[in-house]
Amino acid sequence: MQILFTDTSPAQTRVRATIVNQGDTPEGLDPVLIEGAEASRFKGNAGQVFEGFASVDGATKRIALVGAGEKGADDRRLKLERAGGAAVAKYLRSGEGELVLDLGKAGLSAEDAGAVLLGAKLRSWAHDEYRTKLSADKKISLKTVHVVGAPEGTESDWERNAAIARGVEFTKKLVTEPANIVYPESFVALCQEAFAGTGAELVVLGEAEMTELGMGALLGVGQGSRRESQLLAIRWNGGKEGDKPSVFVGKGVTFDTGGISIKPAPGMEDMKWDMGGAGAVAGGMLAVVSRKAKANVIGVMGLVENMPDGNAIRPGDVLTTMSGQTVEVLNTDAEGRLVLCDALHWAQETFDPAQVVDFATLTGAMIVALGNEHGGLFANDDALADKLLAAGKTTDDKLWRMPIGPAYDKLINSPIADMKNIGGRWAGSITAAQFLHRFIKKGTPWAHCDIAGMVWSDKPGATHEKGATGYGARLIDQFVADYAE
């Protein structure tokens, strides 16, 4: 869906949507429409849509009022995104190909207008490529949004938002594609394509290089798979030379069967999105790189497939990680931490980061604790945690702080190795975080985001269809914008 700016609304376009604040009566509209909106209890609440019909110059037009909520609301930006998203959701598969979006009646700033357009753009993304029999009336029809009444500066502001949308869409695509399409090597290939010509530098390690480096944990997870494991780094040097980079690390398990500790069949298909952490990092990097952020930022993704096989790791196996620490694998389904521990160690050794933040669909226990409303945030540094919480509030990629500490740490001691890869029955998300913490060097600010409940949604939201939410890409971009530039 393209967004075009224009001074006068194209006459042939049949749909006109106007953004309206809560309680406002927009001027210049047919009084019958206004009455209709009132009768329908349209209040201008964020995301509320009223549609009526009016005859304009002899042609019947569909006129929509789209609520943006209260003008002074604290979360005004998110409400405006929701309004843009609601306008698009209404007409995306309506049969209409074009929409005039009037931003001139709600007293918006350029930044406000940008939020509406970002919401509109994000809500328009869908993945219908494999639905070859989709009936005509369910296909996406909306191709163009003509923006009228945009305040001064909206168009230049839009460039930044378009970069963010590009990143979020990339995350959604990576998360949506099934595991026969997105596997470690094809994940890398998709990144090579997306970042071509952007000035970002991609570093790819295959199994031979990782063996050389001693990444026994990451390689252990991948050894039951026919697909070759990969470690991918995307480097963006937009900041001052010598400035320590912000490093983001993602869990990229392109499919998680559980391995020999195999998962039950019902719902296993969900584990195609067990690469959502890596997807967030790839999309976050694409946003940062596309808007040429003035910061040094690196994304590292550990890409593996976790399969049961004659060559797979077994419960009880002891693996030696790149850090030299050893791990007793008591459950091959607790594989994400095995991938991340080597990726985190390598990232610290290679890039000497200012701080490291990892993203992972790490534990089902995280969904038990926080549901689908917040990702869990674990950190060894309060300042870093606060920055991430703030970036999450701004972008609606919400996080909630969880505890870590020595009492939890001792729950993963092993009688045969330095640690085991699972704790007991309780506090499963925290013991997973403690495992990762053992691979963070003293003095390195680190945060871990367990986003198991956030990357996929069984219902549509303000900025996504049912399915991939794009979670994490905007969080990364916002963190970089607010704290690294």
Q: What positions carry a catalytic annotation?
A: 263, 337
Pairing of strands 375-379, 355-360: unpaired
Q: Which CB atom, from 31 or from 267, has the smaller least distance to Mn ion? A: 267
Contact criterion met (CB below 8 Å) for 344 and 358:
yes
The C-alpha atoms of residue 469 and residue 455 are separated, in whole angstroms, by: 5
Number of residues counted as binding ligand BES (CB under 6 A): 15
**305 lies in the binding site for Mn ion (CB under 5 A):** no
- x/- mask, Mn ion, residues 325-364, rule CB under 5 A, reads --------x-x-----------------------------
Output the DSSP codes for 375-390: EEEEES-HHHHHHHHH
Helix axis angle, 276-290 relative to 473-483, nearest 10°?
50
Secondary structure of residue 357 in the 3-state scheme: strand
CA terminus-to-terminus distance, the chain? 30
Contact criterion met (CB below 8 Å) for 82 and 119:
yes
Q: Map the footprint of Mn ion across residues 216-245, applying CB under 5 A.
A: none
Shortest reach from residue 388's CB to ligand BES, in Å:
20
Tell me which of 112, 177, 328, 333 binds ligand BES, using CB under 6 A.
333
**184 lies in the binding site for ligand BES (CB under 6 A):** no
Q: Which residues does residue 362 pair with via DSSP β-bridges, in sequence order? A: none
Shortest reach from residue 335's CB to Mn ion, in Å:
5
Q: Which CB atom, from 69 or from 336, has the smaller least distance to Zn ion? A: 336
* Binding segment (CB under 5 A) for Zn ion, from list 36-44, 59-67, 229-237, 249-257: 249-257
Tell me which of 81, 98, 112, 256 binds Mn ion, using CB under 5 A.
256
Q: Which does 365 bind (CB under 5 to 8 A by kind): Zn ion, Mn ion, ligand BES, none?
A: ligand BES
Q: Which CB atom, from 333 or from 477, has the smaller least distance to Mn ion? A: 333
Tell me which of 256, 328, 342, 358 binds ligand BES, using CB under 6 A.
256
Greatest alpha-carbon pair distance for the chain in Å reads 83
Ranked by CB distance to Zn ion, the top (closest) residue is 256
* Binding segment (CB under 5 A) for Mn ion, from list 4-12, 84-92, 250-258, 366-374: 250-258
Shortest reach from residue 410's CB to ligand BES, in Å:
17
Output the DSSP codes for 401-466: E----HHHHGGG--SSSSEES---SS-HHHHHHHHHHTTSPTT--EEEEE-TTTSEESS-BTTB-S
| Token pair recorded at residue 143 | 């191709």
* Binding segment (CB under 6 A) for ligand BES, from list 11-19, 127-135, 356-364, 441-449: 356-364
The C-alpha atoms of residue 290 and residue 158 are separated, in whole angstroms, by: 13
**305 lies in the binding site for Zn ion (CB under 5 A):** no
DSSP letter assigned to residue 263: P
Residue ranges that bind ligand BES, judged by CB under 6 A: 256, 270, 274, 331, 333-336, 361, 363-365, 422, 428, 452
Residue ranges that bind Zn ion, judged by CB under 5 A: 253, 256, 274, 336
